[in-house]
Amino acid sequence: MELDVKDEPVVFPFIGYYGTGRLWGDRRLRSELPLHPAGRATRYAGYRDCLDPRSNEKHMRDWIARLALIQAQRRIQLATLSAVYEAIAACVEGARAAEFDLKENDIVVEFEDGAHFPLGFLSDGQRSMVALAADIAMRCAQLNPHLNDGARLETPGVVLIDELDLHLHPSWQRHVVEDLMEAFTKLQFVATTHSPFFVQSMRRGGGVINLDRKDGDPEKIREKSIEDIAEDIMGVAQPQHSRRYMEMLKAAERYYTAIDDAAAACDPAEIEKLRNCLDELEEPFADDPAYVAFLRAQRAAKGRE
């Protein structure tokens, strides 16, 4: 059944959820709605398994392949297929264009350096974004075929994505949000992340909610640095230093304290106990000769070698 108001088709909103396993574990469709390239058989195909956390890459590729075959046979340009290609190119870093290659029997992405790679040869991050962008664009076209190539730009709705930064390089994480918002202008994206680069990119039309805060108020990002975001929002103590550096710093502080205690000690048993303590503090850093040599130099200076 199609709903019309004054002979104008009603715009169906997009609803979708993509989980952390969206790249793997392709599953069978639970429903058996007919697959039609332009979505005219039933617009409800756009809601098929839309809340399953695993995007169905096979279904998306089959849909695109069927459109590509029709386009080749009829020698026409299908607006809905072009919209899907445009969405892929807009959301994959460094991509210039995309198309379905009938010889390769796969989606092929062309990059700005002139390289062409089929979907199966892309990195996990690239594959994930191709599948995500193509699946959203496909569903928008199925839900609102009357919008033609404007479906991805005119379809409203909500997209839930768990760990949007999954498999993406930090430089890509800094603009992936903007890419999605420009490719799908009327969709609202709600995503989770553990990346400070992703959080820092939230400049326009979005907010950051820290799920560890009880009040639920949005975080104030403004011009915060990566270190500030990691420390103030994500609770990482002194993110500018590695964990090993912090362990070495704490060990050195305890080492100096033990040296001072040994220098002031008179009881041979206490001195031996402190000497053993110094040996234990050195042991975890035996792979760093310069650091151990520095500690022993401090130890010798106090006469407790």
- The per-residue pLDDT for range 154-207, each reduced to its tens digit, is 999 999 999 999 889 989 998 998 999 999 999 999 999 888 888 888 765 457
pLDDT digit string (tens) for 241-268? Answer: 556 656 666 766 776 677 677 666 666 7
Q: What is the pLDDT of residue 302?
A: 62
Query: Which of 23 and 72 is assigned the larger pLDDT?
Result: 72
Percentage of the chain beyond pLDDT 90 is 36
Q: What is the pLDDT of residue 266?
A: 63
Residue 153 has pLDDT above 50, yes or no: yes
Query: Which of 275 and 58 is assigned the larger pLDDT?
Result: 58
pTM above 0.85, yes or no: no
Query: Which of 45 and 256 is assigned the larger pLDDT?
Result: 45
* Cα separation, 286 vs 196, whole angstroms: 33
